[in-house]
A and B are shown apart, each in its own frame.
Chain A
Amino acid sequence: MNKLIDYLILTTGSIFLIMFLKVFQGQRTSSFLILLSFVLFYIIWAFYHHSKDESLNIKTMIEYIFIGFTFLLLLIVIFIV
């Protein structure tokens, strides 16, 4: 049940991201900041979820950070650089 709530939180964050992107349609910098916030939210969510799960360790967190920042950087190349 707890896990389900955690995933619901993550999915809600995703829905908010898409809603904000729609609201700030056409504004490149705002859209980028929204994406950056989502990556940070994803990492914080991972920290919260795994610490609750008692499975938190550096290797696990690195996995989230690597995935999060890889796609953030690729999106930077597409839209910002």
Chain B
Amino acid sequence: MRKILRYFFIPSEENYHRAKLLHSDSLSFYLLFAIILVFIVKLSPLSNILGYATDITTQKLYQLTNEKRLQNNLPLLIYNEQLSKAAEQKANDMFDKNYWSHYSPSGTSPWKFLDSQEYKYEYAGENLAKNFLFSNNVLDAWMASSTHKENILRKEFTEVGFARVDGLLDGQQTTLVVQFFGKPAVRNLLTLGENTIAPLPQKTISKAKKIIDFSKISFNITVFLILFISIALISDLYIASKLRLIRIHGKNLAHLIFLITMLTGLYFFLSKGVIL
């Protein structure tokens, strides 16, 4: 095992004084692997592709929202289909009229969408998010904002609905998340207790399970590969400078700067979502 690790990470005679992981054939393997991955994702009918790569699902958002309430000793929210339909309408309205706001340019309030679904409420609330890659990042951002957190943890709310819709906003591919909270004025779920969670419709669950999340797989592969190659570059650089080896190849330090920049870029992509 040590011999294998040495061969792959430490420059020695066996690997022609360059860590095997940094040889041209290894680098061409990484590139080939990336090309194959792109083709698999492009051709796969099971991927979540449509120009919008995100693993956000209403199921996960619902689960995370209730986890936050549970952590704060609050009653769990009941999933409401009318609220979800209103949320979907709101997201589509934002795409159709090209705006990113609680109120439309013509002054339409979010509550109009609840009315159109004939959802009679005593209390209602709305959280918005756009361009997040993972569901937990959406919840983290909402919880970091006092007003959004207030909605999530408001004890008056008893029901919740979500929509995640992809489209073009300002000419950019955008993923919008709309979360509607409500407390119905007339209780129509009398059979359910205050703390009972209504299960998500089966259709939504099976749809979410069918999707292969290539963006998450690729994210994990990218982070792993960056760390893997960085370790090889650092060990190769250290040993080569210690042994004063003179070799003709790319500069390890330059590669390291490039990889660190890519990792930072990846972080910016992940945390770049906006909430409202």
The answer on a CB contact under 8 Å between B257 and A11 is yes
Residues on the A chain within 8 Å of B257, using CB: 7, 10-11, 14
Cα–Cα, bound, A45→B261 (Å) = 15
With contacts A29-B173, A31-B269, A78-B222 taken as known, whether A60 is within 8 angstroms of B38 at the C-beta atoms is no
Is B193 among interface residues, defined by CB-CB distance under 8 A? no
Cα–Cα, bound, A26→B268 (Å) = 9
The answer on a CB contact under 8 Å between A77 and B261 is no
Among residues of A, the one whose C-beta sits closest to the C-beta of B50 is A81
Question: What DSSP secondary structure best describes chain A's contact surface?
Answer: helix
Give residues of chain A (39-81) contacting chain B, Cβ–Cβ below 8 Å.
42, 45-46, 49, 55, 57, 59-60, 62-64, 66-71, 73-81
Q: How far is the CB of B261 from chain A (nearest CB, A)?
A: 4
Cα–Cα, bound, A68→B32 (Å) = 13
Query: What band does the interface of chain B fall in when counting residues whose beta carbon is under 8 Å from A?
Result: 35 or more
The answer on a CB contact under 8 Å between A67 and B258 is yes
Cα–Cα, bound, A26→B137 (Å) = 14
Residues on the B chain within 8 Å of A30, using CB: 172
Counting chain A CB atoms within 10 Å of each CB, the highest count among B30, B172, B251 belongs to: B251
Cα–Cα, bound, A66→B30 (Å) = 8
The answer on a CB contact under 8 Å between A78 and B172 is no
Give residues of chain B (111-144) contacting chain A, Cβ–Cβ below 8 Å.
130-131, 133
Residues of A within 8 A of B (CB): 7, 10-11, 14, 17-18, 21-22, 25-31, 35, 38, 42, 45-46, 49, 55, 57, 59-60, 62-64, 66-71, 73-81
A-B contact pairs, 21 of them (CB 8 A): A14-B257, A14-B258, A14-B264, A21-B268, A26-B174, A28-B173, A29-B172, A31-B268, A38-B261, A59-B248, A64-B255, A67-B229, A70-B30, A70-B33, A71-B226, A71-B258, A73-B34, A77-B34, A81-B42, A81-B53, A81-B214
Q: 7 shortest A-B CB distances, which residue pairs?
A: A73-B34, A77-B218, A63-B250, A66-B27, A14-B261, A74-B222, A21-B268
